[in-house]
Structure 1
Amino acid sequence: MTLFTTIGYGTIACQTALGKFASIVYALFGIPMMLMVLGDVGQLILGFLLYCRKSVKEYYRRWLLRAYVSDIIIEEDIESKIVEKNKLEEGEGEEEEEELSLSLLLPIVAIYILFVSTIVSLLDWSKDGKLLIGGLGFGDAFYFSFLSLATIGLGDVMPYNLQYTPLLAFLFLAGLALLSMVNSTIYVRLQNRFLAIMDCLEDFLDKIQYNNQKSLEGYFTFMSLSPSIKAKIFKIF
């Protein structure tokens, strides 16, 4: 996992020439496939989060209607209004969806890192002779989880035994998918803002060029006039 996720703690590495060659081949094919998997998993998680957000908003809207709408209004009328409002909200632009998704993803990623840190600190263990003692503390577990999910992987702090379990690989896979969603959302927003700034700059330069052309046209028109007309113009101004 440390190869195709590019975390690379450095604690587990091949020593033989054949093993090093196999690691290179494995990384060449595994990293692109892993990026595709993370993108697909990220889209699935994003769709699930958007569905949860829509369900919560609809439930809250129904609660408001039941709490504040008069009893004279029948249930069918309430349902029709809910459907109409949902249709209007479905016409929102993609930019608003991305902004809302980012506002949801950032706290979710923070909570997820805390969750992984808690799992690591609770399930990790070490041996003192024949006795089993506690593993990493919460601070070191948070440090390890953050560096792993950020694909930094310094390898200076490692769990004693938990790094060999499939559970940790699954947790990191989901976390990397969340981070890929955050990165793609931030990238789209920065790209849109950069393009908007470039459009404004282009419009500003076009206005300057237009004003310069108008000034040159006026200058050449004035120079083409006869001397008597020029003298009259100078007397007027």
Structure 2
Amino acid sequence: MAGIIQNVFTKGIYSLRETEAVSKLKVLANHVGLYLGLIIYTAIGAKIFQEIEYPYEHERAETYQALLVTKRILFLASIHNASSDRSEESFQYLEDALVEYEEACSQAADAGIDIVSKEYTYNWDYIQAVFFSLTILTTIGYGNFAAETRAGRIFCLLFGIVGIPFMLSVLADVGSLFAGGLELAWKNNKDRIKRWGEKLRIIKPKVEGAEDEDDFADAGLEASIMKGLGVVGVLCIFLSMGALLFTIWEDWTFFDAFYFCFVTMTTIGFGDMTPSISGEGQMVEKSIYMMISTAYILFGLAFTSTSIELVRRQYAESWRKMQELRANIQAQLKLADTLKKLSETAEKNNVDIGIDIADDLQALQNNLNKFKNSKMGGEFADVDIQQLNWVENNKKVKAFFIYESSV
């Protein structure tokens, strides 16, 4: 019988472990499926953008290239004619030819044609199309190039309507992982951070002999300040790592790269600085650079949004605790005022009070003065604690009336 019970118990444990393993695999599959779905959606969208926009860009580039060459030849011919014919009409013709050539140069430059070499580069190669698709999904929208055909713009609307919520789901999922990591880091390093805060005098050191309790967790504004500074510090480190990465690939200073990372991660996306993943260079190198940049931007968006949300929560929590503390102080002041009136009434009517609570009132005054003199005292400047001075002059205050017959 005992053997049967043991076998059942053992099978139950194995079954429980298998259930936990299956549950973990399902969670992992959900994460991986979400990320793979985004990758596939972006890859397909980029290919469609390329198929729509590339033929138009190719035709446009060839047209303006031919126009540039033609206007250059006409301008050179006008110079040759003006050198032999110095009439006013000849110079006017030369001036007109120069204006037309300048206009052709401007149009050719807008079409991506190099004015000197007359060669042109495409915005809509596949790598650029992938990057453009990501700027739509992440709502960064650099604006350095965009869809120009009607079909491309219609597809851009459809692609964004479906893809942006998809991307937000992915960023929220990654952000939850980051948030869990930050909370774990905070839990494991809380004591070390507390010591740093004490050295920097952001929080008060613990008094020896005090009760062993987690006063740092309940430190209110001080803990919130430490948490907020910690999150901002980690975010700056993350942006600095990206800045160092881009200074390797781009001809940027560290400040310019840091500026680009910040503008990108906050989805401001001015477009004044963008990664150079178009133009000359081997396709393999461009692909590697694009994948690294894309991965950093995606993780950075999730990390930055998570950091901003954590700082916002700390600010809201600090404000809530401040209001609770203010309400507590006001309640204690009302209690003190009531006891003061009680004392005055007792003295006026010669009423004997049987319990001595002067020490409690003194502790109340000391407690309120502690709030007033703390680093947060400026937040309670409007609280009048001086009204408790009557405690010093009335050391004997009683708690209950014992009415005497005065007939």
- Post-superposition Cα deviations, 1:55-103, rounded to whole Å, max 9, x if no partner, equal 446899xxxxxxxxxxxxxxxxxxxxxxxx9xx76xx67x898766533
Aligned residue identity for 1:172? I
Which has the larger Rg? Answer: 2
* Paired residues of 1:98 and 1:185 also in contact (CA < 8 A): no
Aligned CA distance change for structure 1 residues 101 and 24 (closer, same or farther; 3 Å): farther
Aligned residue identity for 1:32? P
Aligned CA distance change for structure 1 residues 188 and 42 (closer, same or farther; 3 Å): same
- Post-superposition Cα deviations, 1:32-68, rounded to whole Å, max 9, x if no partner, equal 22222222211211212332343446899xxxxxxxx
Aligned residue identity for 1:160? S
Counterpart mapping for 1:62-81 below 5 A: none
Q: Which residue of 2 aligns with 1:156?
A: 272
Q: Which residue of 2 aligns with 1:115?
A: 241
What is the TM-score of this pair, normalised by structure 2?
0.35
* Paired residues of 2:172 and 2:302 also in contact (CA < 8 A): yes
Aligned-residue identity in percent: 28
1:50 aligns with 2:183: yes
Q: Which residue of 2 aligns with 1:3?
A: 136
1:23 aligns with 2:152: no
Q: Which residue of 1 aligns with 2:254?
A: 138
Give the counterpart of 1:184 among 306, 309, 314. 309
Q: Distance in 1 between matches of 2:304 and 2:322?
A: 27
Q: Shift in Å at residue 121 of structure 1? A: 0.7
Q: Shift in Å at residue 155 of structure 1? A: 0.9
Aligned CA distance change for structure 1 residues 46 and 196 (closer, same or farther; 3 Å): closer
Give the counterpart of 2:145 among 3, 9, 12. 12
Partner of 1:3, secondary structure, is helix
Higher relative contact order (CA 8 A, sep 6+): 1
Q: Distance in 2 between matches of 1:194 and 1:59?
A: 25
* Paired residues of 2:224 and 2:317 also in contact (CA < 8 A): no
Q: Shift in Å at residue 119 of structure 1? A: 0.2
Q: Which residue of 2 aligns with 1:41?
A: 174
Give the counterpart of 1:104 among 221, 230, 236. 230
Q: Distance in 2 between matches of 1:197 and 1:120?
A: 43
Q: Shift in Å at residue 6 of structure 1? A: 1.0
Partner of 2:267, secondary structure, is coil
* Paired residues of 1:136 and 1:159 also in contact (CA < 8 A): no
User: Greater shift after overlay, 188-197 or 157-166?
Assistant: 188-197
Aligned residue identity for 1:27? G
Q: Which residue of 2 aligns with 1:69?
A: none
What is the TM-score of this pair, normalised by structure 1?
0.57
Aligned CA distance change for structure 1 residues 198 and 16 (closer, same or farther; 3 Å): farther
RMSD of the alignment, in Å? 3.8
Q: Shift in Å at residue 19 of structure 1? A: 1.0
Q: Distance in 2 between matches of 1:59 and 1:192?
A: 22
Q: Matched residue pairs, number?
A: 167
